[in-house]
C-alpha cells in the first residue's frame, strides 16, 4: 500500500504544478485526475464518481486576481485514494464510503489553499530581493527562482496529499466503521443528492433567460423519447452533440448575416 | 519583423509562457513570471551586461493578467523592444504604459472566457459523457479526454496566435483582439451547455433508466423523487444566486440529511 501511496502522491505532486504554475491546462482538474487515479488504484468506478461529484460542485470557483479558490486537486486525490482503499478493504462498494471520503478530504483543500497563500507571501519577499539585486547593479537569477518555485509547488502538492493519507488512513477507517447506522444511511442519501449541487452550479453559470426555450425543448425531446423507447445513451449523446453543433453553426450564421 | 528576434526565440517564449504564474506574489503579482518569460528575448537583443540588467529591471514591474491572454501583451512587448533596439523612437516608458493599459481589459476577457465559460463548458461535456457512458468505463474515459482536448485546443491556440500576432502587428494588435468577439462565443457556449444539460435532465429526474446512471434514489416514488429533486435544485439555484458558496451547500445537504434521519 505504501508503494501505491508514494506513486500516487508523486503523480499528484506533478499534476499540482499545473494548478497554477502551468496556467491551467485542465490536467489538474478532478475530471481528469480522479479517473486517472481510480485507474491506477484498480477502481475506475470510484474515480469516475468522484470526478463527477467534485468537478461540477467547484467548477465555478475561479482564481481571479488575488482570490484563491479551494484547491480541488488534493481533495480529489485524497478522496479517490481513500475510497478505493476502503472499498477494497471492506470488500464491497458502498455509496456511503465515497461520500464519507469526499467529506473528510474537503478540509485538505482548505489546508492547501492556506499553504498556497503563504508561498505567495514568500514570493513577495523574493520579488523584493530581485528588485534589490537590480538596484545593486546585478542581474538577478530569475530562472532559478522560477524553477525553485516549481519545486516548492511540487513539494507542497506531495505533502498535502501524502500526509493526510499516511497518517489519517487507519484512523479514518475506524471512524467510518464506528459511524452510527443512521449517519451511514444519510451519507448514502447524500450521495444521490449532492450531484444536484453540481448541476445547480453549472446552471447558475450558463443559464440565460433567452435560451430557456432551447433548454426546455432539449429536455422535453429527450424525456418524450425516453418514454417510448429503451434509451440508448450513445444515441442521446450523439443527438445532443449534433443539436449543439447545429446551434453553434446557426449562431455563427446569424452573426455573419448581421 | 524577425530582424533581430528569431522564430526560435518566440517558441522559447511560448513554452516559457506556461510558467508565467509560477512565482505569483501578492505584491507585484506576475512580475517574476514576466521577467522569466522574456529572458530569451533579453539575451538575444542585448549581449552586454548593462543592457541585460536594464531589460530585466524593466520587466520586473507590476503585472497581472490572464495567463493565456498574456501572450498578446508579450508579443507586443517583444515587438516594441525590438523596435527600440533597432533605434526606432520607442521609449521604455511607452512599453510600460502599453503593458499597463492592455493587462486590465485582457485579464477581464480571459477570466471571463476561459475560466467562467470555457472551463465549466468542458467540464459539463466531460461529465455528460461520463454519465451517459454509465458503467462502460472504457468509453467513459472519453469524457476527460474530450474535455482536455477541447479546452487546450482553445488555450494553446490562443496563446500561439497571441504571441505571433502580437509580435507581428505590434500595438495595432488591439484591432485583432477586438475582432475576437469572445462575448458572442460565451453565448454560444452557454446555449450548447444548456442543451447538453437539458438532454441530461431526464436521466437525472426520471429514474426508470436508473441503471444508466451511477446513482438512483431509493425508497420514494419515481414521480415524487423527480419533483423533489427538481425543487431541491431550484432551492440550490436560489441559494447560489445569493452567493452561498458550493462548499457550504455541500456540507449543508449532508448535515440536513443526517438531521432528517434522526427526526
CA distance A192 to chain B (A): 6
In chain A, what is the greatest distance between 2 CA atoms, to the nearest angstrom? 79
Which residues 97-156 of A are in CB contact (within 8 Å) with B? 99, 103, 106, 120-124, 126-128, 130-131, 134, 137-140, 142-143, 145-146, 149-150, 153
Q: Which residues from A are below 8 Å from B124, CB to CB?
A: 56, 202, 206
Residue to substitute from A146, A151, A230, interface B, most B β-carbons within 10 A: A146
Contacts of A51 (CB under 8 A, 6+ apart): A30, A31, A32, A33, A34, A35, A38, A76, B126, B127, B130, B143, B144
pLDDT bin (cut points 50, 70, 90) of residue B138 is confident
3-state secondary structure of B197: helix
Q: Which residues from B are below 8 Å from A198, CB to CB?
A: 127
ipTM over 0.90: no
Q: Measured between CB atoms, which of B151, B202, B250 is closest to A197?
A: B250
Residue A148 in grid coordinates: 525553485
Q: Look over chain B and give the mean of its residue pLDDT values, rounded to a whole number.
A: 83
- Spatial distance between the Cα atoms of B36 and B79, rounded to a whole number of angstroms: 17
Share of chain B above pLDDT 90, in %: 15
**pLDDT for residue A94:** 81
pLDDT bin (cut points 50, 70, 90) of residue B145 is very high
Buried b (16+ CB within 10 A) or exposed e, B49-80: eeebbbbbbbbbeebbbbbbbbbbbbbbbbbb
Contact: B199, A197; criterion CB under 8 Å: no
Contact of A62 with chain B, judged by CB distance below 8 Å, is answered with yes
**pLDDT for residue B170:** 86
CA distance to A23, A124, A127, per residue, from A146 (Å): 14, 13, 11
**pLDDT for residue B73:** 92
Q: Which residues from B are below 8 Å from A241, CB to CB?
A: 196
Q: Which residues from B are below 8 Å from A126, CB to CB?
A: 23, 25, 32
3-state secondary structure of B250: helix
A46-55, A247-256, B21-30, B93-102: lowest mean pLDDT where? Answer: A247-256
Contact: A190, B229; criterion CB under 8 Å: no
Contact: B127, A31; criterion CB under 8 Å: yes
CA distance A46 to chain B (A): 10
3-state secondary structure of B235: helix
pLDDT bin (cut points 50, 70, 90) of residue B139 is confident
Contact: B18, A236; criterion CB under 8 Å: no
More confident residue, B27 or B223: B27
User: What would the mean pLDDT of B155-169 be, rounded to a whole number?
Assistant: 90
**Per-residue confidence of chain A (258 residues) as pLDDT tens digits?**
688 899 999 999 999 888 776 666 888 889 999 999 999 988 888 898 899 889 888 888 777 666 788 889 999 999 999 999 999 988 877 888 999 999 999 999 999 999 999 998 988 988 888 888 888 888 888 888 889 989 999 999 999 999 999 999 999 999 999 999 888 888 887 887 888 888 889 888 888 888 888 888 877 777 777 666 665 555 666 666 666 666 666 655 554 443
* pLDDT, tens digit (0-9, with 9 covering 90-100), for A199-229: 889 888 888 888 888 888 877 777 777 666 6
Domain ranges of chain B: 1-180, 181-263
Q: Is the pLDDT confidence value at B134 over 70? A: no
Q: Measured between CB atoms, which of A194, A200, A205 is closest to B120?
A: A205
Amino acid at each position: 500500500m505504501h508503494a501505491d501511496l508514494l506513486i500516487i502522491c508523486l503523480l499528484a505532486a506533478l499534476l499540482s504544478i499545473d494548478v497554477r504554475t502551468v496556467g491551467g491546462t485542465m490536467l489538474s482538474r478532478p475530471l481528469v485526475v480522479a479517473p486517472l487515479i481510480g485507474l491506477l488504484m484498480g477502481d475506475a468506478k470510484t474515480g469516475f464518481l468522484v470526478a463527477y461529484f467534485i468537478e461540477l460542485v467547484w467548477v465555478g470557483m475561479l482564481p481571479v486576481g488575488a482570490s484563491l479558490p479551494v484547491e480541488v486537486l488534493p481533495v480529489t486525490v485524497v478522496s479517490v485514494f481513500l475510497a478505493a482503499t476502503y472499498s477494497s478493504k471492506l470488500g464491497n462498494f458502498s455509496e456511503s464510503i465515497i461520500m464519507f471520503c469526499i467529506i473528510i478530504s474537503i478540509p485538505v483543500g482548505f489546508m492547501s489553499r492556506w499553504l498556497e497563500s503563504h508561498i505567495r507571501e514568500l514570493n513577495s519577499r523574493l520579488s523584493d530581493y530581485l528588485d534589490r539585486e537590480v538596484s545593486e547593479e546585478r542581474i538577478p537569477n530569475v530562472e532559478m527562482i522560477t524553477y525553485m518555485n516549481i519545486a516548492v509547488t511540487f513539494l507542497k502538492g506531495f505533502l498535502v496529499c501524502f500526509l493526510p493519507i499516511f497518517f489519517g488512513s487507519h484512523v479514518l477507517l475506524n471512524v467510518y466503521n464506528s459511524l452510527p447506522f443512521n449517519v451511514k444511511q444519510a451519507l448514502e442519501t447524500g450521495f444521490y443528492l449532492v450531484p444536484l449541487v453540481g448541476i445547480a452550479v453549472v446552471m447558475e453559470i450558463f443559464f440565460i433567460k433567452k435560451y430557456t426555450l432551447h433548454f426546455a425543448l432539449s429536455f422535453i425531446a429527450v424525456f418524450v423519447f425516453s418514454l417510448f423507447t429503451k434509451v440508448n445513451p450513445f444515441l442521446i449523446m450523439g443527438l445532443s452533440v449534433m443539436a449543439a453543433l447545429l446551434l453553434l453553426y446557426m449562431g455563427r450564421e446569424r452573426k455573419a448575416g448581421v | 519583423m524577425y530582424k533581430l528576434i528569431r522564430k526560435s526565440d518566440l517558441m522559447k517564449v511560448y513554452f516559457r509562457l506556461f510558467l508565467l504564474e509560477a512565482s505569483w506574489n501578492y505584491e507585484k503579482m506576475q512580475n517574476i513570471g514576466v521577467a522569466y518569460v522574456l529572458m530569451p528575448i533579453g539575451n538575444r537583443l542585448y549581449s552586454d551586461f548593462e543592457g541585460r540588467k536594464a531589460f530585466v529591471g524593466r520587466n520586473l514591474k507590476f503585472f497581472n493578467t490572464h495567463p493565456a491572454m498574456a501572450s498578446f501583451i508579450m508579443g507586443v512587448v517583444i515587438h516594441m523592444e525590438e523596435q527600440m533596439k533597432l533605434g526606432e523612437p520607442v521609449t521604455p516608458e511607452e512599453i510600460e504604459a502599453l503593458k499597463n493599459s492592455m493587462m486590465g481589459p485582457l485579464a477581464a476577457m480571459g477570466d471571463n472566457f476561459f475560466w467562467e465559460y470555457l472551463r465549466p463548458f468542458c467540464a459539463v461535456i466531460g461529465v455528460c459523457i461520463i454519465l451517459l457512458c454509465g458503467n462502460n468505463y472504457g468509453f467513459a474515459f472519453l469524457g476527460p479526454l474530450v474535455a482536455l482536448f477541447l479546452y487546450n485546443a482553445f488555450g494553446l491556440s490562443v496563446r500561439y496566435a497571441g504571441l505571433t500576432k502580437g509580435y507581428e502587428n505590434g500595438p495595432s494588435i488591439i484591432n485583432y483582439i477586438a475582432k475576437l468577439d469572445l462575448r458572442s462565443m460565451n453565448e454560444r457556449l452557454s446555449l450548447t451547455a444548456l442543451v447538453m444539460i437539458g438532454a441530461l435532465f431526464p436521466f437525472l429526474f426520471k429514474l426508470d433508466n436508473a441503471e444508466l446512471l451511477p446513482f438512483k434514489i431509493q425508497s420514494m416514488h419515481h414521480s415524487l423523487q423527480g419533483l423533489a429533486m427538481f425543487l431541491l435544485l431550484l432551492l440550490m439555484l436560489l441559494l447560489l444566486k445569493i452567493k452561498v458558496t458550493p462548499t457550504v451547500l455541500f456540507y449543508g445537504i449532508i448535515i440536513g440529511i443526517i438531521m432528517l434521519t434522526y427526526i
